[in-house]
Amino acid sequence: MSSDPSVRLVQQADYQFAIYYNEERDPVYGDEPPPLGKSQGATPSQFLLAGVANCLSDSLLFALRKFKQNPEPIETKANCEIGRNAENRLRILAINVEIRIGVPGNTLENLERVLAQFQDFCTVSSSVSLGIPVNVTVIDSESTKLYPAI
C-alpha cells in the first residue's frame, strides 16, 4: 500500500458527520440512531461491520483468483452482538460474517486450501479479531456450508 489509509470527518448536524475517504469523491455519511441522531447515515458499528466484511470478501476473492477461479457474484452479510461489559458499558461482543459465493463450491479448484488461509490475509478482520471474536461462514450457491468445515 502506498500510504496509510485516512479519513476526514466534518460535522454536519448533531451526530451526523460527512466522511471523506477520498477528497475527489462525495462523502459517505455517519449518524447515530434516535434519540441521539436521526439515522441519516451508517452508525459507527455498521462502518466497522462493513470494513470487516469487505476485507474478508476481498481476501476470499483474491485467494480464489490466484488459482484462476471465479466465485462471483459474492454477497456478504455481517452483524454484531452488542452487550454490556464488566463496567456496564455497551461493547461489540462478537462479529458474525456470512460470505455467499455465486457458484457451487465443488466447481472451484483448490477451495480447501483457499478456505484454510484466506482470513490470515485480511488486514481488518485479523486486527479486529485481536479484541472482538470474528466468526466467518462461507456458503456456496447451493446453500452448502463450505467453511468452517462441519
Q: Could you say which architecture CATH assigns to the domain 44-147? A: 2-Layer Sandwich (3.30)
Domain parsing of the chain, residue ranges = 1-42, 44-147
Question: How far apart are the C-alpha atoms of 49 and 54, rounded to whole Å?
Answer: 8
pLDDT digits (tens, 9 = 90+) for 112-142: 999 999 999 999 999 999 999 999 999 999 9
Question: 45-58: b or e for each residue (b if 16 or more CB lie within 10 Å)?
Answer: eeebbebbbebbbb
pLDDT digits (tens, 9 = 90+) for 37-58: 999 999 999 999 999 999 999 9
Residue carrying C-alpha cell 478482520: 125
Question: How far apart are the C-alpha atoms of 119 and 106, rounded to whole Å?
Answer: 20
Better-scored residue on pLDDT, 3 or 145: 145
Q: What is the pLDDT confidence band of residue 2, given thresholds at 50, 70 and 90?
A: low
What is the reported pTM? 0.94
